[in-house]
Amino acid sequence: MNATAKKPIAIVIHGGAGTILKENLTPAKEKAIRATLAKATNAGYAVLQRGGAATDAVIAAIEVMEDSPLFNAGQGAVFTAEGTHELDASIMRGSDLQAGAVAAVKHVKNPIRAAMAVLEKSPHVLLAGDGADQFAKEQGLPWVENSWFDTDYRRQQWQKARAEKTTALSEDELTKPGSADDFKFGTVGAVAIDIHGNLAAGTSTGGMTNKSHGRIGDSPIIGAGTYADNRSCAISATGHGEYFIRYAVAHDICARSRYLKQPLQQAAESVIMDVLFSAGGEGGIIALDHNAQPVMVFNSKGMYRGWRTAKDAAPLIGLYDKGSEKTWKGH
Ligand code: ASP
């Protein structure tokens, strides 16, 4: 492709959806979250600006959030019922439908990099548990003790979850008045389109607080939490994973846009606001299609999100619902 045929670039990221209310965030925490979302958006956008691949932009953005204790991915991941961390991540390339994922890893510092290594260096799509950690180590990826992912904030959430409902995984049971913010989802994800018009999507998470040892959510499941296909769209999801798996949310949105020729916004709203909402599944998605127009749809109170297109001089950030969000631009 020659240089004159450059396509419009764009990136959209999320840092989790859930009961995100202004009154539950201190001004300092809100500021820190907005700043990290902006940093992650810019990290991915810079890759696209210099002509980098959409997959590299997705990794750059996700890595910033994995390295931040503010999000439920990498350091700052939630605790399992056993008091450990088991991380899930996946990435998909829209140009050739290649995908890589890791599930229930305990030691690779940046699970999104391990997912990319599975895509590039293995004949498989999904590696889990010890085998996935071992593979990541063999690929030379940084390895940490499981306690490296600990934060006091997440430990307190876990203790609260255990006290309130020891075996509960359902956010419906956990989001009682007064504790709602504590159990919001905090998964991170990114979708990008590069100058060649290639789409990519990635997602990384610690899963859900107090989840059973061995529980795997939607984030590493291609078609559930992540999907990218140049013929339709790129999606990264966040929310109650069991619902996103059963309703094959990411693939369903892409399939509707491709087969029904629905605009992406409409396809996403049908799945998130109608199908998923009726089923009781809380959460949201970020998406991009070939028009490089950001799409962000969530049925929860809020979703941490950031986006930047060629039209934007700086990243745009949103935390709350459309009505109460000053930076919301009507996408
Ligand atoms: N979807 C993730 C999971 O179920 C949780 C989240 O989005 O925060 O593991």
CATH of the domain at 297: 3.60.20.30
pTM recorded for the entire structure: 0.92
In a domain, 330, yes or no: no
In a domain, 57, yes or no: yes
Cβ 206 vs Cβ 65: under 8 Å: no
Q: Give 3 Cα–ligand 1 centroid separation in angstroms.
A: 39
CB distance 219 to ligand 1 below 6 Å: yes
Element (DSSP H or E) covering residue 318: strand 316-318
pLDDT for res 103: 98
- Token digits for 98? 């290649």
In a domain, 148, yes or no: yes
Q: Give 238 Cα–ligand 1 centroid separation in angstroms.
A: 5
pLDDT for res 23: 76
Other Cβ atoms closer than 10 A to 286: 29
In a domain, 107, yes or no: yes
CB distance 104 to ligand 1 below 6 Å: no
CB distance 205 to ligand 1 below 6 Å: yes
- For residue 81, the one-letter residue type is A
pLDDT for res 98: 98
In a domain, 326, yes or no: no
**Count of domains observed in the chain:** 1
**Nearest Cα to Cα of residue 30 among 331, 326, 329:** 326
Q: Residue 132: helix, strand or coil by DSSP?
A: helix
**Nearest Cα to Cα of residue 181 among 171, 192, 170, 191:** 171
In a domain, 328, yes or no: no
pLDDT for res 326: 47
pLDDT for res 178: 40
Query: Residue 195 is part of which domain span?
Result: 3-318
Tens place of pLDDT for every residue, the chain, 331 residues?
444 578 999 999 999 988 777 777 888 989 999 999 999 999 999 999 999 999 999 999 999 999 999 999 999 999 999 999 999 999 999 999 999 999 999 999 999 999 999 999 999 999 999 999 999 999 999 999 999 999 998 999 899 888 876 433 333 334 443 444 445 578 999 999 999 999 999 999 999 999 999 999 999 999 999 999 999 999 999 999 999 999 999 999 999 999 999 999 999 999 999 999 999 999 999 999 999 999 999 998 899 999 999 999 999 999 987 655 544 433 3
Pocket test for ligand 1, best of 72, 187, 221, 244 (most atoms within 8 A of CB): 187
**Nearest Cα to Cα of residue 127 among 93, 101, 107, 108:** 101
φ, ψ for residue 233 (rounded to 5)?
-165, 175
Q: Give 83 Cα–ligand 1 centroid separation in angstroms.
A: 17
CA atoms within 13 A on the CB side of 210: 21
In a domain, 329, yes or no: no
**Nearest Cα to Cα of residue 307 among 292, 325, 289:** 292
- The residues facing 227 across adjacent strands are 235
In a domain, 26, yes or no: yes
CB distance 188 to ligand 1 below 6 Å: no
